[in-house]
Amino acid sequence: MAKRKTIDGELGEERVTRRSTRGRTVKEEVVDEEMIVEKVKAKDTVKTKGMAVKKSPIKDEESESKEEVKKTETLPAKTNGTAPSAPGERQHWLLKAEPESRLEKGHDVKFSIDDLAAKSVPEPWDGIRSYAARNNLRAMKKGDLAFFYHSSCKTPAIVGVMEIVQEHSPDLTAQDPKAAYYDPKDTDPSNPRWSVVHVEFREKFSNPLTLRELKDMQGSWKEISEMQLLKQSRLSVTGVTGGEWEFLMSVIKKREKGDVKEEM
DNA sequence: GCCAACGTTGGC
DNA sequence: GCCAACGTTGGC
């Protein structure tokens, strides 16, 4: 995911960006893992951005380290679906990004499914600044699948699928004062507060499943009556249970086929 | 630890 | 632009 519009810009480097909660992404340099590792260790800068759920400035660090760690920090966001936990099984998620341009500290955080599809290297999903969302990022395993959801736009909808190709690593964009989602509280080098996971595009649906449709189906289909997305509308990174994933994919595929909309 | 005020997200 | 949901802050 990533990024925004950078698509044209620099190519050589590739920058990546990501998204975040609400928005989406920003760009940054592309980094590969090695770079990431290095950055993580050494420096601090990344410049990119991310947004995401931002949260607020949290309390101070100490608190963060302590209490926060306890409570918020550790639990995967609520209940929902996080993923199946059976060993070896893939977990499923839903990540939101904003497909329409919006400036955050001077950076356009736009990041759509098409932006992700255009990437040639794993995209860091950065900018997440909500503990519940970040905890979900940290619970992701390589190989997990996630719905790409367009938010804060004309037609909020699940528009495609991506795969988690690299588990969490520090989101150093939080430490870059110029980044869209800079977090002044994230100052302890030994304990980066925010995380990213790297994702790769897998598919774009010809017929997106809109939020409106999801809500309409929610009442009559028990399979999705408890979806975290629908119960915690502000969370930008939510869990999707195996049953929810299977149900939604079947609905999506069915409509793709003949484009029959089954309105459930 | 409770809770009111306040800020943000995100759909509409 | 409005507003509901929800998280954080900070007084007590």
Tell me the CA distances in angstroms from A15 to A47, A123, A175, A197, A206, one per residue in order: 10, 9, 17, 15, 27
Q: Which of residues 105-144 of A touch strand C (CB under 7 A)?
A: 130-132
Domain ranges of chain A: 15-54+75-258
Q: Cα(first)–Cα(last) distance of chain A, in Å?
A: 30
Q: Which of A28-37, A89-98, A121-130, A174-183 has the lowest mean pLDDT?
A: A28-37
Nearest DNA or RNA nucleotide to A53 (CA to C1'): B9
Residue nearest to nucleotide B10 (CA to C1'): A152
Residue A214 belongs to what H/E stretch? Answer: helix A211-218
pLDDT of residue A70: 40
A75 CA → C12 C1’, Å:
30
A186 CA → C9 C1’, Å:
18
Average pLDDT, chain A: 74
Quick: pLDDT tens for A42-85.
Answer: 333 333 333 333 333 333 333 333 333 444 454 444 333 344 45
Indicate if CB(A19) is under 7 A from strand B. no
Quick: pLDDT tens for A170-226.
Answer: 999 998 888 888 888 888 888 899 999 999 999 999 999 999 999 999 989 999 999
Reported as a pLDDT band with limits 50, 70 and 90, residue A38 is very low
| CATH assignment, A15-54+75-258 | 3.10.590.10
